[in-house]
A and B are shown apart, each in its own frame.
Chain A
Amino acid sequence: ILNVEQSPQSLHVQEGDSTNFTCSFPSSNFYALHWYRWETAKSPEALFVMTLNGDEKKKGRISATLNTKEGYSYLYIKGSQPEDSATYLCAFEGASQNFVFGPGTRLSVLP
């Protein structure tokens, strides 16, 4: 059974703080790693699709890195804002076309 883990489960930070979360996934049979941002009562919003070991992606204040050999990805948010409050999901996509989501990290940014 494929296991995708995310830590921490939840996080409270002050506005302006920088933060990061971890996604751990199987290092074998890798095809892509996806990061999503999911606000309550909205649909998930894709942040990044990462496919190559060593990949680094950036979108505004949010960036992500990927290590496929050891099976982890980090998501960083620089200078957190209240509107960054959401659940951040990662999903492992395997070469066998399976797709497994992590449980998410719930971020709350306090003004």
Chain B
Amino acid sequence: GAGVSQSPSNKVTEKGKDVELRCDPISGHTALYWYRQSLGQGLEFLIYFQGNSAPDKSGLPSDRFSAERTGGSVSTLTIQRTQQEDSAVYLCASSLRRGKDTQYFGPGTRLTVL
């Protein structure tokens, strides 16, 4: 009956490398959200999935960022050619349906780009 899980919990990478962050939502939750918190900044919405589709990708900071969700469950957020400004805590949340239901957050992945 686990909550939302994310892996890895911490990731240190070198500038220019690609990274993949994973989110396992609560079983049965159709909506999945990715956010990030950069140091000293507020919470920033990145992308939202309803089922496997992401209706709006405009929140992704650049074309180096992509996300997918398969089987209506696990989602991966991929950052290509990482830059130092990508360093942040990346949070995932899921809810039964979009909008009207409570979002449950995972513990986050702390990404550090050296």
Contacts and interface: CB of A to CB of B under 8 A. Distances in A.
Interface residues of B, number: 23
Interface in A45-78: 45-46, 49, 51
Interface string A78-111: 0000000000010101001111111110000000
Nearest to A43: B105
Contact of B43 (A31, A93, A101): A101
A26 interface: no
Contacts of A98: 45, 56, 58-59
B97 to A, nearest CB: 10
Interface residues of A, number: 22
Contacts of A97: 48, 55-56, 98
B91 A100 contact: no
B107 interface: yes
B54 to A, nearest CB: 9
Contact of A101 (B42, B93, B104, B108): B42
Contact of A89 (B42, B56, B100): B42
Interface of A: 31-32, 34, 38, 43-46, 49, 51, 89, 91, 93, 96-104
Query: 7 nearest interchain CB pairs?
Result: A43-B105, A99-B45, A32-B99, A46-B102, A101-B43, A97-B56, A46-B103
